Amino acid sequence: MNRRHFLRLMLASGIIISVPASGSLAVAASEPHHSFLRISQALTGRQQLDPAIGQRLYALLTRQNPLFPQRLAQLARRLDRSGEMTPEARLAALTDEDVDTALAIITPWYLGYTGNPATTRATDDAHFVSFLSALMYEPTADITPRPSYSQRGSDYWQAVPDGVSAPPMPANIHAWGEASPRAASRIAPAQPAWLAVVEGRARTYAEALRLTDNAGDRL
Amino acid sequence: MTHYDADVVIIGSGALGANAAYQLAKAGKSVIMLEAGPYIPRWKVVDNYRNSASKRNWCAPYPNLPWAPNSYSEGYIDAQGDDDFHYVTSFLKVAGGSTRHWASACWRLLPNDFKLKSVYGVGRDWPIAYEDLEPWYLRAEHEVGVVGTAEEDQSGQGRDAWPPRSAPYPLPPEAKPYMVQRMQAKLGPLGYQVIHEPHARVSRPWDGRPACAGNNNCEPVCPIGAMYSGDMHVDKAVALGVDLRTESVAWKLEKGPKNRIVAVHYRKPDGRDVRLSAKAFVVAAHGLESPKLLLMSDVANSSDQVGRNLMDHTGLSMTFLADEPLWTGRGSVQHGSIVTRRDEPSRAHHSAIRYALRNLVPNSDVTPALLKQGLAGRELDAAIRDRASRIMNISTMSETLPSPTNRVIPHPTRRDGAGLPTLLVNYQLDSYIRGMRPQACHDFANFLMAFNGEMVEAPTGWRNQYHIMGTTIMGDNPRDSVVDAHCRSWDHANLFIASTGVMPTSATVNPTLTGIALALRLADTLIQEL
């Protein structure tokens, strides 16, 4: 699926919407988490955000940074004035400090946590926000599961994923065992430019080629 | 007549200990199985996982208690070694052990893996051959429900089916994911053989387990119990009358007359100590913890090899963006493997390599960097989809050799919540493992070229694969090995070790199936003798 088709799909499904930021974002002192939810909608481009998650996230961010309510109020005023219609345009129009506040809001909506989760230590500063509702799963939900219950049944993974036009492959490529294609009997030599990328001597293939005397022949 | 608390006391309730316990109980033996950690049911682990912020932390959803700390507890493993590599490993202390959070690759070693010294002139030979262990490999495959094909050359040398099998795998292979089809289609012509990776995520209903549904959640817990984990044999053993004692930390094996082990002492969370006598003892407490217990007890170490020869599959890992959608994350967390470098003549000079293909749903890997770039809205969503569709990770499982200076000992000063020593590990990478880097880089360059790849993370740093071997090494000479061919301590006739720590070679494959096969064989020895 190409990007344009994908965006049409996301718009048609109502996942992504354009939320007008018409004066309503200002933070009312009595119910700041309501404003927080509306600002979250404006910054993520989604109307269907779970208010319970919004409330928990607002409380978390306020606990982590006592200045957060003030920053939020400031961000709300800026967004009110900007008149931009999309999250990306709104973000682009902000000052650095307001961008930081905006990213502090957007990031946990997408990732489902605040802080930095550790992978090999028992303790970290990460806090749970959401799982199945984490927005990062939405753009791929038609292809891959949110890891725990896929509800797709066994062996769904063999098919060409929707929207992918598979390059030509041997007819027996699905098979394991005797029927599966055999590899060539000899391993190909490595090309110096690709080797340079692997060894960290160049960041990209193009950069590696520039380092070569003769189109990847020698480095 | 002497009274014993049990015929056999097994220390540790992981996949190896629990399989031994089940066989002994089936044969009518009385068994007490000690477990340092608690029993936690699957549903609770799934619940913990779903409510955890740290979903890529595979210990996080499991209990981590002061008297049963796991590998990720702050300061529990004091690792020393090279400047360019920090030793990290990953284990749990719960009933069922660390297979609660494995991905269940169930490889057999190759015949040559048993005779590395004879064939390649490096490392050590096993005191047994592949053929000796084959019947127990088959039994282990049936116990855990292994999915595989008997039609492929798992050594990657372009021959017919290898290694030899006395019967097919119990379960047929699952479907091949599109990503693996693309790997095979593009890497095969470059000389790299992609084959099925045998594993224990059942492809059909089996032994009360449902077929794998591709939840992509093998680690840290299979939510539906399609994947084997050690708690399954804990439950079976308990149903046959095995006395499972959780939160019971073994801390001393007691020697008696004629060098026999007469008792084990264990500690409860409230500090109370209990002594248990038995005719025989099986230490199955994990590859780092088992040697620690032996050293703390001053037993089984006349060779001075206990805790030494620590091996892993320390290697390299590359992450790139392909120039086409591959869509990792459909199916289990791993399918298929590249085996061409598993048994080549170069093993005489440097590590053999097996390449693992990672198949995780990658959204949590690709999204943080895009957020940091300041993307938002539709741009962000489109970028997540694009990156998630194209990201790919390939890593090496590289063979390490047994070296006496790579070792684990009880920590001289640090103590855990039960007042017992924590772990001190010294682990350095020798020229044999470092020597495989040029070959790995050659192969990685070909992988990258095949997909016109954009590098995300170059394979420049070393990482462990959390496969622990060698620390209670098996041999045919009591002067340089800890156990004999039957996993029996050379020093104590009634002390056995059920651990991947007995393996004298690390090869390039996940060692658990070999460990279970050895544990089943050990149980048969005990059944005959008791």
pLDDT digits (tens, 9 = 90+) for B13-62: 999 999 999 999 999 999 999 999 999 999 999 999 999 999 999 999 99
Q: What is the pLDDT of residue A31?
A: 79
Interface of A with B in 159-218 (CB under 8 A): 159-161, 163-164, 166-167, 169-170, 173-178, 180-191, 194-195, 197-200, 203-205
Q: Number of folded domains in chain A?
A: 2
Give which of B503, B496, B500 is closest to B524, Cα–Cα.
B496
- Is residue A159 in a domain? no
Could you report the per-residue pLDDT of B313-356, keeping only the tens digit for each? 999 999 999 999 999 999 999 999 999 999 999 999 999 999 99
pTM: predicted TM-score of the whole model, two decimal places: 0.95
Distance of CA B477 to the CA centre of its chain: 26
Partners of A104 on chain B (C-beta within 8 Å) are none
Q: Which of A6, A166, A177 sits opposite B382 (nearest CB)?
A: A6
Q: Given a cut of 70, is residue B496 above it in pLDDT?
A: yes
- Quick one: A113 and A216 in the same domain? no
Q: What is the pLDDT of residue B1?
A: 65
B352 to each of B115, B337, B346, B401, B439, how far by Cα in Å? 14, 14, 7, 11, 10
Lowest-pLDDT choice from A15-24, A209-218, B260-269, B434-443: A15-24
- Is residue A140 in a domain? no
- Quick one: A191 and A112 in the same domain? no
Q: Please, which pLDDT band fits residue B444 given cuts at 50, 70 and 90?
A: very high
How many angstroms separate the CA atoms of B242 and B24, rounded?
Answer: 9
- Quick one: A112 and A7 in the same domain? yes
- Is residue A31 in a domain? yes
Partners of B90 on chain A (C-beta within 8 Å) are 120
Q: Given a cut of 70, is residue A17 above it in pLDDT?
A: no
Q: What is the mean pLDDT of residues B166-173?
A: 98
Q: Please, which pLDDT band fits residue A28 given cuts at 50, 70 and 90?
A: low
Lowest-pLDDT choice from A29-38, A144-153, B368-377, B442-451: A29-38
Residue B259 at interface with chain A, using a CB cutoff of 8 Å = no
Q: Given a cut of 80, is residue B167 above it in pLDDT?
A: yes
Q: Please, which pLDDT band fits residue A1 given cuts at 50, 70 and 90?
A: very low
Q: What is the mean pLDDT of residues B203-213?
A: 98
- Quick one: A8 and A107 in the same domain? yes
Q: What is the pLDDT of residue A154?
A: 94
- Is residue A151 in a domain? no
Which residue in chain B has the smallest CA separation from A186? B191
Which residue in chain B has the smallest CA separation from A170? B185
Q: Which of B363, B441, B445 sits opposite A140 (nearest CB)?
A: B363
- Quick one: A19 and A112 in the same domain? yes
- Quick one: A10 and A113 in the same domain? yes
Cβ neighbours of residue B179 closer than 8 Å, sequence gap 6 or more? B326, B327, B328, B330, B357, B359, B392
Partners of B449 on chain A (C-beta within 8 Å) are 190-191, 194
B396 to each of A30, A60, B357, how far by Cα in Å? 57, 40, 9
Q: Given a cut of 70, is residue A3 above it in pLDDT?
A: no
Interface of A with B in 67-86 (CB under 8 A): 86
- Residue B428, classed as helix, strand or coil, is coil
Work out whether strand B273-283 and strand B261-267 pair parallel, antiparallel, or are unpaired: antiparallel
- Quick one: A93 and A191 in the same domain? no
Q: Please, which pLDDT band fits residue A219 given cuts at 50, 70 and 90?
A: very low
What percent of chain A shows pLDDT beyond 70? Answer: 84
Single out the residue in A66, A100, A119 at which a domain terminates.
A119
- Is residue A182 in a domain? no
Q: What is the mean pLDDT of residues B286-303?
A: 98
- Is residue A56 in a domain? yes
Could you report the per-residue pLDDT of A59-84, keeping only the tens digit for each? 999 999 999 999 999 999 999 988 88
Strand residue runs (E) in B345-427: 353-358, 391-398, 407-415, 421-427
Q: What is the mean pLDDT of residues B151-175?
A: 97
Is residue B330 within 8 A of residue A161, CB to CB? The reply is yes
How many angstroms separate the CA atoms of B454 and B322, rounded?
Answer: 7
Residue B456 at interface with chain A, using a CB cutoff of 8 Å = no
- Is residue A171 in a domain? no
Q: What is the mean pLDDT of residues B215-231?
A: 97
Higher pLDDT, A8 or B303: B303
- Residue A47, classed as helix, strand or coil, is coil
Single out the residue in A96, A119, A142 at which a domain terminates.
A119
- Is residue A180 in a domain? no
- Quick one: A194 and A91 in the same domain? no
Q: What is the mean pLDDT of residues B484-499?
A: 98
Q: What is the pLDDT of residue B2?
A: 82
What is the residue range of A81's domain? Answer: 3-119
Lowest-pLDDT choice from A203-217, B288-302, B450-464: A203-217
Residue B369 at interface with chain A, using a CB cutoff of 8 Å = no
Q: Given a cut of 90, is residue B185 above it in pLDDT?
A: yes
Q: What is the pLDDT of residue B170?
A: 98
How many angstroms separate the CA atoms of B19 and B250, rounded?
Answer: 19
Tell which of A140, A152, A174 to mutate to test the B interface (max B CBs under 10 Å). A140
Q: Which of A129, A152, A180 sits opposite B213 (nearest CB)?
A: A152
Q: Given a cut of 60, is residue A15 above it in pLDDT?
A: no
Q: What is the pLDDT of residue A212?
A: 72
Q: What is the mean pLDDT of residues B475-484?
A: 98
How many angstroms separate the CA atoms of B254 and B271, rounded?
Answer: 19
Single out the residue in A81, A98, A119 at which a domain terminates.
A119
